[in-house]
């Protein structure tokens, strides 16, 4: 009798195990947006569950193709909401390798408007109307060069991003408008408190694509982290790396300063996803 009971128990155990394996293999894949409601200029991280990256054909946001990578062993993607993206509900669509399509919606809300005056400093010629035009024209040239920065076809990083300065303190926020004469200049980054000579760290593993002195942005470094993601460090007093150099997380890449447009020592930090500058503070929340 005991033998029969034992045999029945074994059969039930293996039947249950088979059910569990089958249920696991047929679990429906899905993805999560964080956040599901964003404001203009914010990044969004997309994380997939119950699926391998090889089983995903592509992912699009507002019909634009996004890059995918593995983070914490899960298929992941970043999307960037442009600072001037029209508030609306946008579709994030995923086509699986088996042809199935899964979708989710991202709501984009308007960013509160903030405008502050900003004069051209004396070291760049002063705040005359003609010089305002000259500085804005130079900014456009520098931004055009930055927009052409090459990016690798794979992610160079695997671990979380870190702040580029110790004990980060934000002195000027992302997304407001600086009014220089008749011109409006969006502040597409964060200013971090950093007295001259403060060590500036690479936020993650990547390749140096730009290391040069600009007229308005001053001594600047651009690190390509692959798949359209880059970090930009401006107004430095010293650059310690060279173009083409592979840097590691936390490596000292330069020292802070007040070169270029800066009127006081600080670090201007920008983060770009597919050439769209997003709020670095929100980006760093993904890695808390």
Do 136 and 99 share a structural domain?
no
Radius of gyration of the chain (CA): 24
For the segment 24-67, what is each residue's pLDDT rounded down to a tens digit? 345 899 999 999 999 999 999 999 999 999 999 999 999 899 99
265: domain CATH number? 2.70.70.10
Do 201 and 161 share a structural domain?
yes
Model confidence at 15: pLDDT above 50: no
Would residue 14 count as lying in a domain? no
Would residue 25 count as lying in a domain? no
Alpha helix positions (H), 129-240:
129-147
Q: Look up residue 257 and give its DSSP letter.
A: B
Would residue 216 count as lying in a domain? yes
CA distance 119 to 12: 78
Q: What pTM does this model have? A: 0.89
Reduced to 3 states (helix: H, G, I; strand: E, B; else coil), residue 1 is coil
DSSP for 82-106 reads: -TTPPSEEEEEEEEETTS-EEEEEE
- Give the domain-ending residue among 72, 88, 109: 109
Model confidence at 20: pLDDT above 70: no
Would residue 20 count as lying in a domain? no
Do 104 and 127 share a structural domain?
no
For the segment 230-260, what is each residue's pLDDT rounded down to a tens digit? 999 999 999 999 999 999 999 999 999 999 9
Do 255 and 149 share a structural domain?
yes
Q: How many domains does the chain have?
A: 2
Do 197 and 221 share a structural domain?
yes
What residues make up the domain containing 92? 30-109
Would residue 210 count as lying in a domain? yes
Report CA-CA distances (Å) from 250 to 69, 190, 270, 278. 22, 19, 17, 22
Would residue 181 count as lying in a domain? yes
Model confidence at 81: pLDDT above 80: yes
Do 272 and 154 share a structural domain?
yes
Do 214 and 153 share a structural domain?
yes
Do 185 and 252 share a structural domain?
yes
Model confidence at 8: pLDDT above 50: no
Element holding 4 (H helix, E strand) = helix 2-25
138 dihedral zone (left: phi>0; alpha: psi -120 to 50; beta): alpha
CA distance 254 to 268: 13
Share of the chain above pLDDT 70, in %: 91
CA distance 100 to 104: 14
Cβ-Cβ contacts under 8 Å for 45 (sequence gap 6 or more)? 33, 34, 76, 77, 78, 286
Would residue 76 count as lying in a domain? yes
- Give the domain-ending residue among 84, 109, 134: 109
Report CA-CA distances (Å) from 82 to 121, 225, 232. 29, 20, 17
93: domain CATH number? 2.60.40.1930
CA distance 36 to 15: 40
Do 125 and 98 share a structural domain?
no
Do 212 and 81 share a structural domain?
no
Would residue 13 count as lying in a domain? no
Do 96 and 66 share a structural domain?
yes
For the segment 187-201, what is each residue's pLDDT rounded down to a tens digit? 999 999 999 999 999
Task: Name the residue with tokens 């399509």.
Answer: 101
CA distance 269 to 258: 13
Overall size of the chain counted in residues: 288
Would you place residue 13 in the very low, low, confident or very high pLDDT band (cuts 50, 70, 90)?
very low
For the segment 83-111, what is each residue's pLDDT rounded down to a tens digit? 999 999 999 999 999 999 999 999 999 99
Encoding tokens for residue 39?
Answer: 């404001």
Question: Is the Cβ–Cβ distance between 68 and 57 less than 8 Å?
Answer: no
Would you place residue 288 in the very low, low, confident or very high pLDDT band (cuts 50, 70, 90)?
confident
- Give the domain-ending residue among 85, 109, 133: 109
φ/ψ of 86, rounded to 5, equals -65, 130
Encoding tokens for residue 38?
Answer: 């964003």
CA distance 220 to 11: 68
Res 27: pLDDT:
87
Helices (H) and strands (E) in the chain, counts: 3, 22
97 dihedral zone (left: phi>0; alpha: psi -120 to 50; beta): alpha
Do 93 and 119 share a structural domain?
no
């Amino acid at each position: 009798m005991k033998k029969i009971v034992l045999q029945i128990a074994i059969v039930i155990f293996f039947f249950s195990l088979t059910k569990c394996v089958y249920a696991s293999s047929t679990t429906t894949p899905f993805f999560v947006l964080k956040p599901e409601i964003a404001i203009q200029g914010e990044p969004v991280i997309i994380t997939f569950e119950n699926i391998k990256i090889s089983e995903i054909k592509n992912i699009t946001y507002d019909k634009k193709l996004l890059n995918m990578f593995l983070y914490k062993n899960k298929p992941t993607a970043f999307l960037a909401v442009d600072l001037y993206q029209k508030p609306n509900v946008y579709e994030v669509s995923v086509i699986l390798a088996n042809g199935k399509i899964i979708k989710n919606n991202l709501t984009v809300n308007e960013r509160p408007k903030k405008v502050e005056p900003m004069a051209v400093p004396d070291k760049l010629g002063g705040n005359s109307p003609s010089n305002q035009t000259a500085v804005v024209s130079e900014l456009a040239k520098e931004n055009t060069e930055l927009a052409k920065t090459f990016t690798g076809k794979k992610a160079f990083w695997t671990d979380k991003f870190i702040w580029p300065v110790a004990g980060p303190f934000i002195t000027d926020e992302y997304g407001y408008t600086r009014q220089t004469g008749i011109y409006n200049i969006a502040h597409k980054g964060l200013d971090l408190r950093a007295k001259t000579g403060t060590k500036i760290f690479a936020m993650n593993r990547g390749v140096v694509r730009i290391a040069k002195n600009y007229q308005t942005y001053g001594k600047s470094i651009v690190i390509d982290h692959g798949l359209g993601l880059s970090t930009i460090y401006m107004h430095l007093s010293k650059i310690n790396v060279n173009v083409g150099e592979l840097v590691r997380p936390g490596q000292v890449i330069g020292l802070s300063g007040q070169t270029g447009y800066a009127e006081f020592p600080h670090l201007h930090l920008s983060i770009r996803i597919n050439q769209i500058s997003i709020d670095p503070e929100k980006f760093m929340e993904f890695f808390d």
